[in-house]
Amino acid sequence: MSEAATHPTTVLIIENDPGSGPGRLLDWLEERSLSAVVVRAWDGEPIPVSTDGHAALILLGGGMLPDADDASPWLAAERELLRATTEQDRVPVLGICLGAQLLAHTFGGEVLGKHGLPEKGVTELTLLPGAEDDPLLAGLRAKVRAIESHQDQITRLPTDAVLLMSSERCPHQMLRIGRSWGVQFHPEVSADRVRRWSVDTLRSLGFSPEDVIAEAERYDAELEQIWSGVFGRFLDLAGPREPAAALPLGA
């Protein structure tokens, strides 16, 4: 087997919305001498049938629900790719916002639209007991911050899921199924992107645009440090794995 086949140098990223790109992830990949293969599903680019040749799979956010196949017809293929990748445990998976909801929905959980109170901007998260020995989170302090941008949320976890984080407004902030992780928050978003958020949308949801931007700027360096480290641990797991060595989904 060739060196390239043994050690893939690309990460497959599915982009579900033109406003939810990979952001900081591209810089963090470059720091690891990895590159992104971005599939712009929202623009009609086809979803690959497998992750062969890639080191990991990342599913980005979007404003739709995970089963909104009529309006977003690529979601069915994305769910199939997610299911196959998770069940076969060939590469690790990270689902962000909609990506986390896709993970929950695909494996039997529930996601509801416009459920509960919205979260926008810097939000405090609480690590739960399941995080103590999680490969990505072990060693983090009990409270951390992240950027949020959602009102749709996971309302019931799959049976095999491990709950890792929660927040005051959203109980299901981070979950793991096997080597697939889902985060409701946005580790890839910097203060620069928050500055471009719609002022009218923030106000309509009950947020002060000035406060949201100020908080993002205040904590930008801290968020970069925390989530680049967590993402680095995710990449430490990257690379193909033989199906026979697969983890039980609830492990």
What three-state secondary structure class fits 224? helix
As a whole number, mean pLDDT of residues 128-154 equals 96
Among 15, 54, 186, 215, which one carries the catalytic annotation? 186
Domain range holding 15?
3-245
Q: Is the pLDDT of residue 241 over 80?
A: no
Tokens representing residue 125 in the block: 């998260």
Task: Note whether residue 12 is domain-resident.
Answer: yes
Among 15, 54, 97, 170, which one carries the catalytic annotation? 97
H or E stretch at 203:
helix 199-204
Task: Note whether residue 234 is domain-resident.
Answer: yes
Q: Is 186 a catalytic residue?
A: yes
Residue 90's pLDDT band (boundaries 50, 70, 90)? Answer: confident
As a whole number, mean pLDDT of residues 137-161 equals 96
CB 211 within 8 A of CB 205: no
Q: Is the pLDDT of residue 35 over 60?
A: yes
Q: Is 170 a catalytic residue?
A: no
As a whole number, mean pLDDT of residues 198-207 equals 97
Task: Note whether residue 98 is domain-resident.
Answer: yes
Q: Please tell me whether the overall predicted TM-score, pTM, comes out greater than 0.75 for this model.
A: yes
Q: Is the pLDDT of residue 159 over 80?
A: yes
Any bridge partners for residue 176, and if so which?
162, 181
How many domains are there within the chain? 1
Q: What is the pLDDT of residue 208?
A: 98
- Spatial CA neighbour of 34 closest among 1, 68, 66, 57: 57
Cα gap 164→17, rounded to integer Å: 26
Tokens representing residue 200 in the block: 């009218």
The CATH number assigned to the domain holding 192 equals 3.40.50.880
As a whole number, mean pLDDT of residues 15-32 equals 97
Q: Which residue has the tokens 């060939």?
A: 90
CA 14 vs CA 21, 43, 98, 121, 138: distances in Å:
9, 11, 11, 23, 27
Q: Which residue has the tokens 């993402």?
A: 231
Task: Note whether residue 251 is domain-resident.
Answer: no
Task: Note whether residue 139 is domain-resident.
Answer: yes
Model pLDDT for residues 215-234, shown as the tens digit of each residue: 999 999 999 999 999 999 99
Q: Is 188 a catalytic residue?
A: yes
Cα gap 147→122, rounded to integer Å: 5
CB 145 within 8 A of CB 223: yes
Task: Note whether residue 250 is domain-resident.
Answer: no
Task: Note whether residue 50 is domain-resident.
Answer: yes
Residue 243's pLDDT band (boundaries 50, 70, 90)? Answer: low
H or E stretch at 99:
helix 98-106
Cα gap 31→168, rounded to integer Å: 34
